[in-house]
Structure 1
Amino acid sequence: MLKSVIAALLIGGVSFSSFAVDKQVLGQTEMMSVSADGIVFEARMDTGAVNSSLHALDISVAGGSATKMKDNVGKDVTFTTFNEKGEKQVVTAEIVGTSTVSNSQGTETRYAVKLPIKFGDNTRKVKVNLRDRTTMDYKLLIGRNWLKGKYVVDVSEKKFIGPTAGISIVESGLMFDTRIDTGAVENSLHATNLRIKDEDKENMENNVGKDVTFTTMNEKNETVDVTARIHSTSLIRNAQGSEIRYMVTLTIGEPGQEFKVDVNLRDRSKMTYKLLIGRNWLQGHYIVDVDM
């Protein structure tokens, strides 16, 4: 998900004059580690938290703990942390402070240490609160102190996709080398030999609600028959004039991430790409980077 936020702003037509720094985009969760060679956590981005927080058990203060936690500031603390897979890491760091946190369960005081948190090639050493996160889904929580100045969080989790991509149509069982076209409103699939039971050949609108069986083919010349329900027609205008096409709903996407979307059917025999992806598939899911 790591990409320049400027690309996202350009696609969305948003001015980025207010952004003094080229920041990078993170999703709701990212894979991060504590120290360069530490175990990897699926970390939750939390813009509501000032500091980051790490799961910590068996906390032991070097030389013994003072009665008041704040009197241990400056001492080393050793603790054990586990990631979501149950992998273990023992960490030693200097206590740089304490914080008292109030929540629905009451109040608790936690030690704070400075730790290097690594994401990709970037490492930032920040203040991290230590607490028992055994019952929580995410053992590492990333707060504003790690994000500030370098990152933004996109909770929509839009993905980046290039001008072409390998796309699957579940109903066909085929993979297509697909053209991604932000200039097209609709998706378009190569379809020939359309067969409709009790077809009205004079008025296409009268075939809405009927099943259509058609033959499609990918760039490897693999062919298959697909049956789908016609739910509407679409008037398409292009340089060659205008034509009416049938619209069906198919399950389309990157392998394992397909979702249902409307597709118009047309003969794309003379075209390089047998599947064209338009804005109705991209919207809300993807940002297109033509350099990919």
Structure 2
Amino acid sequence: MNSKEKIIVGAIEECGLPEFGIENLPVRIDTGAKTSSLHVDGIKQFRRDGSPWVSFNIHPNVHNVEETIACEAKVHDIRTIKSSNGSSDERFIVKTTLKLGEHSWTIQLSLTDRSEMTYLMLLGRQGMGRRILVDPSETFLVQNN
């Protein structure tokens, strides 16, 4: 994909996670982060058809922490992730579809507690792939359908 075909995004965009019933979630675009992450709580591990799965709650509205969406996803991996404050922890990694404007693709998300962060989701380099160019001086450049 050449630079003229790439999606130009700002430092903050709105995305959807349709498999989790999420639309218009503000997301921090972070080229310094390798892995994308999503704030969840109530993570519970279980098995379905012999495979590891997790259930968890997503808070789709940063202004209403009481609102939650109960979700389940197959565990893709468990990884040790180093956070921006230097601490490391093991996180469940799930795969899901990211919708950004008219574009959508599969990303890997680490499930974690981002309650102390301004944005409940962070889109890292792996989630961007070769699809995105970032203009850090702008926000909300992508038009949602």
**Residue 71 (structure 2) aligns with:** 226
1:225: how far off?
1.1
- 1:167 corresponds to which of 4, 15, 27: 15
Residues of 1 paired with 2:99 and 2:33: CA distance?
A: 17
CA deviations on 1:156-188 (whole Å, 9 max, x unpaired) are 711110000001111222221110000000100
Aligned length: 131
Determine helix, strand or coil for the equivalent of 1:258. strand
Match of 1:217 among 38, 55, 59: 59
Q: Which residue of 1 aligns with 2:133?
A: 287
Counterpart of 1:177, as a letter, is P
| Amino acid aligned to 1:192 | D
Q: Which residue of the other structure, out of 42, 66, 69, is the alignment partner of 1:193?
A: 42
Aligned pairs for 1:15-30 within 5 A: none
Aligned residue identity for 1:214:
F
User: So what's the TM-score if we normalise by structure 2?
Assistant: 0.81
Gaps of 5+ in 1: 1-26, 28-153, 199-207
| Equivalent position of 1:236 in the other structure | 81
Report 1:1-292 matches (<5 A). 154=2, 157-174=5-22, 175-197=24-46, 209-218=51-60, 219-221=62-64, 222-238=67-83, 239-292=85-138
SS in 2 for 1:171: helix
Q: Distance in 1 between matches of 2:3 and 2:112?
A: 36
User: Structure 1 residues 216 and 237 mapped into 2: Cα distance closer, same or farther (>3 Å)?
Assistant: same
Q: Choose 1 or 2 for highest CA Rg.
A: 1
TM-score by length of 1: 0.42
Q: CA RMSD in A?
A: 2.1
Query: What secondary structure sits across from 1:192 in the alignment?
Result: strand
Whether the 8 Å CA contact 1:209–1:231 is kept in 2: the answer is no
Q: Quick one: which amino acid aligns to residue 8 of structure 2?
A: F
* Structure 2, gaps ≥5 residues long: 139-145
The DSSP-based 3-state class of the residue aligned with 2:20 is coil
Bigger relative contact order, structure 1 or 2 (CA pairs below 8 A, ≥6 apart): 2
Letter matched to residue 250 of structure 1: T
Greater per-residue strand proportion: 2
Per-residue CA shift, 1:222-266, capped at 9, x if unaligned?
420111000111111232521110100011121442211111000
Q: Distance in 1 between matches of 2:19 and 2:134?
A: 25
Amino acid at match of 2:15: I
Q: What is the CA-CA distance between 1:209 and the residue it aligns to?
A: 3.5
Distance of 2:18 and 2:4 partners within structure 1: 24
SS of 2:127's partner is: helix
Question: Structure 1 residues 210 and 241, CA, compared in 2 at 3 Å: closer, same or farther?
Answer: same
